[in-house]
Structure 1
Amino acid sequence: MKNRMIATESFRSGKDIYFFDYLVAVNGRHYLRIARMENCSDGPIKRSKVVIFEDVIQPMIAAFAYLLHSGAFAENQDQTPKDIREKAQEIKALRESMDPDMPLRERLGLYGAGTLTEHELVSLLLGLGTTSDEATHMADELLGHLGGNTAKLIGMTQADLCRIPGIGMAKCSVILAAMELGRRSFLAAPITGSPVDFRYSQN
């Protein structure tokens, strides 16, 4: 029994051809195969490929989306890797100087959402905007269930979230609403420097 092709797409760029194949292996696992075929004028055709299995496809898509979005919507299009590192160091230093007992809502208002950790952002969504034990415990449960990878929230349903201890219907609704707002904001923002504005429209 051979691996079965489910869907395939390809495109040409100059002398190179790129293939994107979605397959199912003999063991039932789905995977994405990305291949490049390079036509060399002075030698044989060169082939290269990478295989990505289903358990990392969604995190990979999320990572690419974040990367491309960050590049397209950066406040300063001329910023260098050094600028990005320095900004990250500034945020880290600011976090270390902040009063750990300050309520999260106040901290967000004074210093911006970018200074909050993922755990604090989740606590803010699930709790009352304080450092209460209840909100912290729920954030621990959620992040533990996700293995610390918030990209796994993509595609989760209310039923999926409600299986996590301490996360009821109300908290599920808050998380799903926040994810949907983030998705719409991402798609609705115009791409700077492009002749076409890609915008989200809801029918």
Structure 2
Amino acid sequence: MPEVIFPGPEGRLEGRYHPQKERNAPIAIVLHPHPQFGGTMNNKVVYNLHYAFHNLGFTVLRFNFRGVGRSQGEYDQGVGELSDAAAALDYLQSMNNSFKHCWVAGFSFGAWIGMQLLMRRPEITGFVSVSPPANMYDFSFLAPCPSSGLIINGDADRVAPPADTRALVTKLHEQKGITITHEEREGADHFFQDPHMEPMIATVSDYVKRRLTETTR
């Protein structure tokens, strides 16, 4: 999988780009957890999400937010990181201008950024949010949420308590025209440490596969 360097708002951004041979393959970006708490594009959840999408036929890009790894710039409270994600999507689309579907996936802080990106980019047709930190960040901008997607968390999550995630899902369920699928894994913590990683990724893969099948009928 080639390492890539592409332009971001504050200088270069470092990523991993995994293309398909098919020119019209669907595309996805995967967003990593909080930069100030050790989050990088090589986080285990992010890495596994990346390969799950690629195995489903997606051309996939994951990258380091500003100030992480070889990406230039400094942490910017989520504002600059959203701009980084938009630049990453621009880069991915420039390399794949005949894509059929565009998805965003994020873990923890990355889930929050991904949902904001969803609001700004109408071409995004689906999302996956793993362990969204609804207790730490305001998700009220999802009014209305423009796309159907999957929210998945663990019922033993002490970083982003399940009650807050359930409250977020309840609010999204009230919206018309979209379907929010919610999966809560019994015994799983915030990071889906083994033995919960594999079943979580399988749930994501099954969901994305079903959505793709529905749109090609």
Interval of TM-score (by shorter of Structure 1 and Structure 2):
under 0.3
| Relative contact order, higher structure (CA 8 A, sep 6+) | 2
Under a length normalisation based on structure 2, what TM-score does the superposition of the two structures give?
0.23
Return the index of the structure with the highest Cα Rg: 1
* Higher percent of residues as helix: 1
